[in-house]
Amino acid sequence: MAEVRPVGIVLVSHSAAVASAVAELARGLAGVGAEVPVAPAGGTADGGLGTSAELIAEAAAAVDRGAGVAVLTDLGSAVLTVKALLAEGDELPEGTRLVDAPFVEGAVAAVVTASTGADLAAVAAAASEAYTYRKE
């Protein structure tokens, strides 16, 4: 039987603490035994608030298992940084995709879906569908 390669997840926030906390939450809600590679890429290289192309590229390389990498972001310049990396074409692993999704709910949906062995399209769709979660 062929080994199932999981989709990797990168969580890009302007804050290292926020990115790490969302990664921890998503991993925890995916359950014990979920083997989804998740990496936070928060803040700048010197620990400040902002985004770092280098940290994002390192995180994407760390979670890449050959099944694609879903990147979720928090705010505007994080999106722009990921788009710039994608446009460069050689900074992120092949099959890396910026996912339009709410940061926290989308991250949880992405990690839970990836833990089932779903492909990148299904992981991205689940994360994006998190926009429709109603809280009333």
- What pLDDT does 135 receive? 83
Residue positions annotated with a catalytic role: 14
Which residue from 4, 8, 3 is spatially nearest to 110, judged by alpha carbons?
A: 8
The amino acid present at 11, given as its one-letter code, is: L
Nearest to 37 by CA among 59, 58, 8, 66: 8
- Count of domains observed in the chain: 1
Low pLDDT (below 50) residues in the chain: none
CATH number, domain with residue 80: 3.40.50.510
Query: pTM here?
Result: 0.94
pLDDT at 33: 63
Contacts of 100 by beta carbon, 8 Å cutoff, 6+ apart: 128
At residue 131, the pLDDT reads 93
Domain hosting 21: range is 8-132
DSSP string, 20-60: HHHHHHHHHHH-TT----EEEEES-TTS-SS--HHHHHHHH
Where residue 3 falls (left for φ over 0; alpha for ψ -120 to 50; beta otherwise) is beta
User: What is the pLDDT at residue 32?
Assistant: 61
Within-domain flag for 78: yes
pLDDT score, position 30: 86
- SS3 assignment, position 10: strand
Q: Would 29 be classed as within a structural domain?
A: yes
- Give the per-residue pLDDT at 136: 86
Give the pLDDT confidence of 34-63 residue by residue, as tens digits: 689 999 999 999 999 999 999 999 999 999
In a domain, 120, yes or no: yes
Q: Quote the tokens at residue 105.
A: 């709910």
